[in-house]
Structure 1
Amino acid sequence: MSAGERTRVQDTQSQESVASNRRLTPGRERALVRALQVAIGVVFAAGILAGNGGVAVNAGVGLLVTFLPNLLSRRFAVTLNVGLVLWITTAMFLHALGTLPIPGLDVSLYSGTWWWDHLTHAMSSSLVAGAAFATLLALQQYSAAVRLPPRFMFVTILLFVMAFGVVWELVEFYIGVSAQLLGTGDVLTQYGLDDTVFDLFYNTLGGLVVATFGASRLAGVSDQLADRMTDRVASR
């Protein structure tokens, strides 16, 4: 082997080593999940200490959601891979962080950064779409009477996410009205009709991503759900 070839081989090995070191392994993903949960807990504590109910409630609910994968595993024997858990935890962290007022400023990332609300809506709607996608796949595997062609599945996921988005916007609106009537702090905030339209658009975008690429990522979850359905029927 010539000196030039040896150099190229060494360069290739070095690049592969760097890529391997940078790869997000399951262990690193688990560490990230724990770190994000701690960060959400810090946001929750900050909300409590500052007497900010909106921050505390949003962070507290988000933190509880991050433990749902553990509940699914222990109670229903449905195990999400660590990548999906990281996806859920990241969405909850971004939402909680967005409600926290920026020190020295009278704004939060939600109110002071135009794209933050769009990002969190796309992330959150992708979780809703993912749950719907996995459930529909599981029903299709469980029952021979349920057959959903790919195009129909695609449209169903989009319609479900859009409908859920409308319901969520109504919830935000009535929570805001209730807060005004009761004189309490806002837990969820709407910024007008334009904000609602953009929210629905980015909700649909998140659903579109899952409807397009979700099958390969969620097949394992749907298989487990179908198995649990079969086991429950068999045990009756």
Structure 2
Amino acid sequence: MVRTARALVHALQALVALVLVGGVVTRNPSVAVNALLGLLVTLAPNALERDYGVVLGPLPALWVTLAVLLHSVGMLGLYDAIVWWDHLTHTLSASVVAGAAYAAVHAVDLHTDDIYLPPPFVGALLVVVTLGLGVVWETAEFVARDLAIAFGFRPLLVVYSLEDAVVDLAYNALGGLLVAWFGTTRLDRVSRELEGRLQGR
């Protein structure tokens, strides 16, 4: 299982790299930059394990890499060609954010007896954090687009309308809810790894 998951991670990373090459060859900075940044994100789980001793296991890495791949492929035109592609990528990316938030918050909860966070509060917190970061991201997209146009550059991110941003936030909330409902028990081991680092183990 572990070996298979790692092989899948490497395969998905290779596909993201192919998207990057395609963006460079076709001189499409939106595709190339998004794929490059995404590829760097997929290296984060290994970096945490190598540099900080936090062993996340292959499944979180697979989760992150799949989200990156779907976004990178979307930049090739699927965002325009398939209506629900944007909804899928926002839900999956938001679930990654919510998963990271849960692992961190639960690690702090385990680390100190002075804090007790009941599950309903944690679930609500995940949705709030996911929505908050979603608002920051959507705002950054609009600002980046306007700055690029003002300076005569091609925008690197696809921006449609305010209505589309609101829909994106709704799917961000869905990603947070999915983690709150189904993902917390699967992330407990990651939280305990982080808590071990807080303990200095």
* Range into which the TM-score falls when normalised by the shorter chain: over 0.9
2:170 to 201, 206, 215: 201
Instruction: Check if 1:127 corresponds to 2:103.
Output: no
Tell me which amino acid in the other structure corresponds to 2:126.
I
Residue in structure 1 matched with residue 81 of structure 2 by the alignment: 112
2:18 to 35, 42, 65: 42
Which residues of 2 match residues 1-236 of structure 1 at below 5 A?
A: 25-100=1-76, 108-231=77-200
Distance, in Å, in 1 between the alignment partners of 2:111 and 2:156 is 40
Tell me which amino acid in the other structure corresponds to 2:67.
A
Which blocks of at least 5 consecutive residues in structure 1 are unaligned?
A: 1-24, 101-107
Q: Deviations over 1:41-77 (max 9, x none)?
A: 0100111111111101100001001110110001111
- The offset of 1:82, in angstroms, is 1.1
Residue in structure 2 matched with residue 103 of structure 1 by the alignment: none
Larger Rg: 1
Tell me which amino acid in the other structure corresponds to 1:140.
D
The 8 Å contact of residues 111 and 199 in structure 2, kept in 1 or not, is answered as yes
Tell me which amino acid in the other structure corresponds to 1:228.
R
Provide runs of 4+ in structure 1 moved above 6 Å.
Answer: none
- The offset of 1:146, in angstroms, is 1.2
The 8 Å contact of residues 138 and 222 in structure 1, kept in 2 or not, is answered as yes
Number of residue pairs matched by the alignment? 201
Distance, in Å, in 2 between the alignment partners of 1:38 and 1:161 is 28
- The offset of 1:214, in angstroms, is 2.1
The 8 Å contact of residues 42 and 61 in structure 2, kept in 1 or not, is answered as yes
Q: Deviations over 1:144-193 (max 9, x none)?
A: 11110111111111111111111110011101111111111221121112
Higher relative contact order (CA 8 A, sep 6+): 2
Distance, in Å, in 2 between the alignment partners of 1:56 and 1:43 is 7
The 8 Å contact of residues 133 and 214 in structure 1, kept in 2 or not, is answered as no
Q: Deviations over 1:185-209 (max 9, x none)?
A: 2211211122111100100000000
Give the secondary-structure state (helix, strand or coil) at the position aligned to 2:200: helix
TM-score (norm 2): 0.97
Computed over aligned residues only, the root mean square deviation of the Cα atoms, in angstroms, reads 1.0
Residue in structure 2 matched with residue 14 of structure 1 by the alignment: none
